[in-house]
Amino acid sequence: MKDDFYIGYQDQSPPSLARSTRRLVVALAMIVAGITALVAARQSPAEPGTFEFGVKRSFEGVLQENPLPMLRSVSPDGAVTNYLLVGAGKHGLPAFARGHDGQRVRFQGTVIQKGPGVLVELNDPESFLVLGPSTAAENRAADKSIGEVVLTGELVDTKCYFGVMRPATGKVHRACAVRCLSGGVPPGLLVRDDQGGAVVVLLSGPNARPLRFDVAWAARRVRAEGRLTWRGSFPCLEVVRLSLADSELP
């Protein structure tokens, strides 16, 4: 019996103890495997979306700074694409791209995409070129007005939502959304329907100004009232009234 007393600094553990220790380790391995497998299997699946981190593409078009920073690009065949523009990290349109409203520009940037919505991260100041004033054809508004609506949903930051972050919504992401919105990333309203569908509506203020709002409302349910317009693949709401939804605390 003296055998099965364990002394850690000895080189060998007594054989009977070694056997029972091996059994313990096997049991522990089964517990570890079972629990990690269960937790991994039951996490809710990450949303789709791509962030072409480290990849740069060339873009050319008309820069629109307000109310939402966008690039309108007209391809040779006349197709118009609107890109929503953000800065590197947790920032909105960078300083080097500001002050060129309505001008033709060319730059290199990184694509962030979810579904039909494409964002471009402007992360290369050297590549940014102002080519001159835009043509009348480029300026023809291709927006489609829908009308007055009242929408309720989660206030999100568009950069994370369209592909940079998983999760990009809810409480675990709230602090990040606060940082991004406070850094000037355009706000969006994540509206869900009963069928599990979801769409993000870009939010702007009245009179072609950016939306003024409290970043502490990030990741909270808010109610937005205003005029809805499709600009390319982005639904945009010119907000006249914004409040926390009734279900939320102040």
Partner 1 sequence: MSTTYRAIDWNRQKRVYDGTLGGLLALGLGLFVGISVLVSPNITVETLLIRGSSVSALLLLHVILCIGPLARLNPRFLPLLYNRRHLGVTLFLLALLHGAFATVQFHALGDENPLVSVLTAYGRDYRVFADGRINLPHFPFEPFGVLALFLFFLMAATSHDFWLRNLGASFWKAMHLGVYLAYGSVLVHVALGVLQSERGAIFPGLLAVGFVVVAGLHLAAARKETRIDRGKPLGEADGYAETCRVEDVAEGRGKVVLVAGQRIALFRHQGRIHATSNVCRHQGGPVGEGRIVDGCITCPWHGWNYQPEDGCSPPPFTEVLETYDTRIQDGRVWVRTIANPPRQHCAGTAVTAT
Q: Which residues bind partner 1 (CB under 8 A)?
A: 2, 5-13, 17, 20-21, 24-25, 28-29, 32-33, 35-49, 88-91, 165-167, 170-176, 178-180, 182-183, 216, 249-250
- Distances in Å between the alpha carbon of 100 and those of 48, 95, 106, 228? 33, 11, 12, 26
Q: What's the rounded Cα separation, in Å, for the pair 92 and 239?
A: 19
CB 23, CB 63: distance < 8 Å:
no
Tally helices (H) and strands (E) across the chain.
4, 12
Provide, rounded to whole angstroms, the least separation between the CB of residue 139 and partner 1. Answer: 33
Provide, rounded to whole angstroms, the least separation between the CB of residue 199 and partner 1. Answer: 18
Run of H or E including 62: strand 57-64
Q: Could you tell me which of 90, 117, 88, 121 has the C-alpha nearest to residue 184?
A: 90
CB 159, CB 119: distance < 8 Å:
yes
Provide, rounded to whole angstroms, the least separation between the CB of residue 93 and partner 1. Answer: 14
Report the amino acid identity of residue 212. R
Closest CB to partner 1 among residues 178, 228: 178
Provide, rounded to whole angstroms, the least separation between the CB of residue 120 and partner 1. Answer: 17
Closest CB to partner 1 among residues 77, 194: 194
Closest CB to partner 1 among residues 104, 220: 220
Provide, rounded to whole angstroms, the least separation between the CB of residue 6 and partner 1. Answer: 5
Burial 125-156 (b: 16+ CB within 10 A, else e): eeebeeeeebeeeeeeeeeeeeeeeebbbbbb
Closest CB to partner 1 among residues 48, 133: 48
Provide, rounded to whole angstroms, the least separation between the CB of residue 21 and partner 1. Answer: 5
Closest CB to partner 1 among residues 74, 180: 180
Closest CB to partner 1 among residues 168, 201: 168
